[in-house]
């Protein structure tokens, strides 16, 4: 749909929700009354959202740090504020609904966290192979590595957020914050590769912020 910066993000989100809802009903006979909660659209824990907001602040601190270190001028795009709803709908809600709410949520049933997280990594990473069609090979390969690295903290936030997608969706938006800034073309590759490295590491701070194990079985009970 050419929605590289979430231009069609709301439409993508609605289509994903419709497809996931139909599959959930046909494959698992989930009642329509329970459908939204089952797909991770329930009420999250506030502490998970706060922890995620902290991680996102750590992420975006990269931009002023890069600017200071390189001398590059980094500006927000003129339309950055208008892009946020679409980016959140597309990369936040839609992707997390599919890969955490649907895939990880079902894989978590009857499994402990790490086996389910490793299994859910496979479709999440495979879907990012499409990036080779729209990005330079180096950036596409780096993006796949980011997808592999971030799948674990995203699953952790889903589970610690009471089996809801809102915390990982917020982090997913933060990971795509680079689409809201502009930099000279000569410096873009360095900015992007550094950003991907930061995005592969910083989200693991979620494991430090959310170590409470009381919700370990939430995803299991939601999937049963």
What confidence score (pLDDT) does residue 221 get? Answer: 44
Q: How many other C-beta atoms lie within 10 A of the C-beta of residue 130? A: 10
Question: In the block, which residue shows the tokens 């879907």?
Answer: 127
Residue count (the chain): 224
**Mean pLDDT across the stretch 203-212?**
83
What confidence score (pLDDT) does residue 213 get? Answer: 47
| Confidence band, pLDDT 50/70/90 cuts, at residue 222 | very low
Q: Do 79 and 191 contact (CB within 8 A), yes or no?
A: no
Residue 151 has pLDDT above 90, yes or no: yes
Question: In the block, which residue shows the tokens 């430090």?
Answer: 208
**Mean pLDDT across the stretch 147-170?**
96
What confidence score (pLDDT) does residue 98 get? Answer: 95
The closest alpha carbon to 12, from 84, 79, 83, 86, belongs to 86
Chain centroid to CA 43: how far?
Answer: 18
What confidence score (pLDDT) does residue 126 get? Answer: 86
What confidence score (pLDDT) does residue 157 get? Answer: 96
Please provide the DSSP assignment of 77-98 as one string. Answer: -TTHHHHHHHHIIIIIIIHHII
What ranges do the domains of the chain cover?
9-223
Residue 216 has pLDDT above 50, yes or no: no
What confidence score (pLDDT) does residue 199 get? Answer: 96
Q: How many other C-beta atoms lie within 10 A of the C-beta of residue 136? A: 12
Lowest mean pLDDT among 53-67, 136-150, 158-172: 136-150
Q: Report in angstroms the alpha-carbon separations of 128 from 132, 159, 218.
A: 8, 23, 28
pLDDT tens sequence across 23-63: 999 999 999 889 999 999 999 999 999 999 999 999 999 99
């Amino acid at each position: 749909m050419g929605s590289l910066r979430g231009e069609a993000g709301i439409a993508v989100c609605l289509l994903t929700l419709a497809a996931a809802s139909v599959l959930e009903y046909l494959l698992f006979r989930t009642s329509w009354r329970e459908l939204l909660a089952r797909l991770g659209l329930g009420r999250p824990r506030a502490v998970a959202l706060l922890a995620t907001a902290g991680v996102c602040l750590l992420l975006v601190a990269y931009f002023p740090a890069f600017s200071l270190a390189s001398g590059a001028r980094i500006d927000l795009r003129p339309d950055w504020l208008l892009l946020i709803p679409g980016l959140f709908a597309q990369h936040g809600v839609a992707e997390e609904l599919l890969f955490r709410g649907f895939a990880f949520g079902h894989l978590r049933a009857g499994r402990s966290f790490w086996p389910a997280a490793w299994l859910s990594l496979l479709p999440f990473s495979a879907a990012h192979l499409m990036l080779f069609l729209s990005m330079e090979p180096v950036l596409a390969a780096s993006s796949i590595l980011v997808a592999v690295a971030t799948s674990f903290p995203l699953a952790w936030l889903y589970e610690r957020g009471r089996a809801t997608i809102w915390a990982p969706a917020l982090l997913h938006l933060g990971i795509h914050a680079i689409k809201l800034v502009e930099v000279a073309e000569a410096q873009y590759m360095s900015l992007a590769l550094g950003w991907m490295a930061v995005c592969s590491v910083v989200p693991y701070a979620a494991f430090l912020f959310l170590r409470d194990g009381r919700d370990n079985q939430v995803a299991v009970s939601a999937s049963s």
